[in-house]
Amino acid sequence: MESILKNKYYLYFTEFFAGMSVMAVELGASRLLAPYFSSSQIVWTIIIGTIMIAMALGNIWGGRSADKNPNPDKLYTRLMIAAIWIAAIPVVGKYIILAISAVLIMTVNNNFLILAGFVACMVIFVYPLFLLGTVTPSLVKYTVDSLDDSGKTVGTLGAFNTIGSIIGTFMPTFVTIPAVGTSITFLIFSGILLVLSLVYFISKKAKKVSCAIAAVLFLLCSILGHSGRFAFWENSLLYEGESIYNYLQVKETKDSIILSTNVLFGVQSIMKKDDSLTGMYYDYALAAPLMAGIDGKEAGEILILGMGTGTYAKQCMNYFENVSIEGVEIDQKITDLAGKYFALPDTVEVTTYDGRAYLQAIDKKYDVIMVDAYQDITIPFQMSSLEFFSMVKEHLKEDGVMVVNMNMHSEEEGNINEYLSDTIANVFDEIYIADVRGSTNRELFAAESAEILQKLTEGINRLENGELADMMHRVSGELVKYEKGNLLLTDDKAPVELLGMSVIDGLIQREIGYYKEVFEQDGIQGILNAM
């Protein structure tokens, strides 16, 4: 022990790598949970809160343990256990999340997202982070020789921990997760902790059996958990990976190519192999160019905020000959996938940027601006506020139209769509909504011109494509004028996550209601028989 720890540097390095690993695990947790629970502020709050609980308990227990038995063997044993636990997360984490979700979805009626996320974090992450929380108080005990230099020693430990935490924050986000994925990121930092422990025990020629077992377990976890498959039940994936912002999944069906982001079962973008209508909200949104009279202009200009893989852009190009389309997409990886799997033409200019920041940076006006940046509970608050929609209005031409895709339709009073609609209605004079058949989406059309319905009718009459004309007749018949309310979202106050969570609870209850009744009557076997 004295040979490796006599100058304290090994203890300092232990503090450094422990701090690094804590932050790396925290960021890895967000990516592990995102495909199942989204990447909203609520999920981040759960992760941070859970980790703080684990670290606080670890600090308390670690300090008391070090006072009772100041033996570094204990610390490095805990590091070894934490390393193996973290290495096992890519192997069993997704199954634990699904099991917890399955139990809770049958037993709770409200706050499913919060409860499922919290329980999953407690089960998967609390124990290893509790063990890592014991590092600092233990190292203080081992490194402080006297009160004369205790301040300097503790300060040095704190500095090493902080620097490690900084690196552990940036490295997963900008290096390991984009390059090799979440699973291997867990394995990398688990390996660092394991090496720290093994070097210590090898130098002491102690716990040879424990070290061998730990090494074998880590190797098994590396073999079994390196793939990073989240949607392990899917057999038709063209691509599965991660970017800085999202979990990404490209799936091929008989007639379509589909992109899902963060939520495993949703559809973020779609391409029909025969270039027909999608059967989704994009078809409804095609009314916006007609409302703006694009078909009667020499050149119509369309801006899409939340480009995705370009579904709406391709549809506009397919059905309107005289359009120029620009897109804004914050995730460059999605744009790359658009070119590779979704045949987005090179003529469509896509800027990698935040939608609101893009509007702030330009002066150009458009005939149509589509806002398609909302994904389930993950709604960027800065693109939902009164100030944002005022900015959109400033970038529309005199007869321009804004179309917004709202994807969590609910009949409950005070729901997220009502807030968004009221907010928009306080900016624009003419507001019409249409609920998309067979989905939870609602399309909102906003303009200053009172002639948008007339232009829509005139545009429909000029359409040569029968499929599109039929679709537009349906939209025209389903449009409802929206009456302004006083539920406003502003830059200062936009609780979009909580509002969205309430809608999700309602959607879950409606979708799972039948199976809950079966479960209450016949248990698990009843569910299996009903499926």
Catalytic residue among 283, 331, 354, 372: 372
How far is residue 133's CA from residue 63's CA, in Å, rounded to a whole number?
10
Residue 318: which H helix or E strand, with range?
Answer: helix 311-319
How far is residue 402's CA from residue 429's CA, in Å, rounded to a whole number?
12
Q: Residue type at 83?
A: A
Cβ–Cβ under 8 Å, residues 416 and 390: no
Q: Is 372 a catalytic residue?
A: yes
For residue 408, the number of C-alpha atoms closer than 13 Å in the C-beta half-sphere is 28
How far is residue 96's CA from residue 124's CA, in Å, rounded to a whole number?
8
Name 177's Cβ contacts closer than 8 Å, sequence gap at least 6. 27, 28, 31, 185, 242, 244
User: How many C-beta atoms lie closer than 10 Å to residue 9's C-beta?
Assistant: 11
User: What is the DSSP code (8-state) at residue 230?
Assistant: S
User: Whose CA is closest to 456, among 435, 471, 442?
Assistant: 471
DSSP per-residue codes, 67-136: HH---HHHHHHHHHHHHHHHHHHHHHHHHHHHHHHHHHHHH-SS-HHHHHHHHHHHHHHHHHHHHHHTHH
Q: Looking at the annotation, which residues are catalytic?
A: 372
